[in-house]
């Protein structure tokens, strides 16, 4: 079964708007939560990541919010641009000696100009 649940499956946002993608997990052993961005026909690339000792991390227009008690985390894309149109995956891993990433199902974001 999927260890990380991601929603929505797709979203459309106007240029300049905010895109929000949500993920939830059950395994409390997870301690590293990255987001990957994938363009069509390419491999995913790391966008931003967070550890559960902080509640928010911001890099440019991308922000991760983390709620440890609810076992949820989300990606916010501020001032969305057409170049942000891509598929976004959340993931989780246990870190330490276990480097396997469990991925969410992905969210396809379309930014309309």
Partner 1 sequence: DGGITQSPKYLFRKEGQNVTLSCEQNLNHDAMYWYRQDPGQGLRLIYYSQIVNDFQKGDIAEGYSVSREKKESFPLTVTSAQKNPTAFYLCASVQRGPNTEAFFGQGTRLTVV
Residues interacting with partner 1, by CB under 8 A?
A: 2, 6, 9, 32, 34, 36, 41-46, 49, 89, 93, 95, 99-101, 103-106
Rounded to the nearest 5°, which phi and psi values hold at 64? -105, 130
> What's the min distance (Å) between Cβ of 100 and partner 1?
6
> What's the min distance (Å) between Cβ of 15 and partner 1?
26
Looking at the Cβ atoms of 38 and 72, the one nearer to partner 1 is 38
> What's the min distance (Å) between Cβ of 65 and partner 1?
19
- What are the beta bridge partners of residue 34? 49
Looking at the Cβ atoms of 15 and 42, the one nearer to partner 1 is 42
The candidate with the shortest Cα–Cα distance to 106, out of 94, 95, 90, is 90
Distances in Å between the alpha carbon of 74 and those of 41, 58, 98, 107, 113?
25, 12, 23, 12, 24
């Amino acid at each position: 079964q999927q260890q990380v649940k991601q929603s929505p499956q797709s979203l459309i946002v106007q240029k300049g708007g905010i895109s929000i993608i949500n993920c939830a997990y059950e395994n409390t052993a997870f301690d590293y939560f990255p987001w990957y961005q994938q363009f069509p026909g390419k491999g995913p690339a790391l966008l931003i990541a967070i550890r559960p000792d902080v509640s928010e991390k911001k890099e440019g227009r991308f922000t991760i919010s983390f709620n440890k008690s609810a076992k949820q985390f989300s990606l916010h894309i501020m001032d969305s641009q057409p170049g942000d149109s891509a598929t976004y995956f959340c993931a989780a891993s246990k870190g330490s000696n276990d480097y396997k990433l469990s991925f969410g199902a992905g969210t396809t974001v379309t930014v309309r100009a």
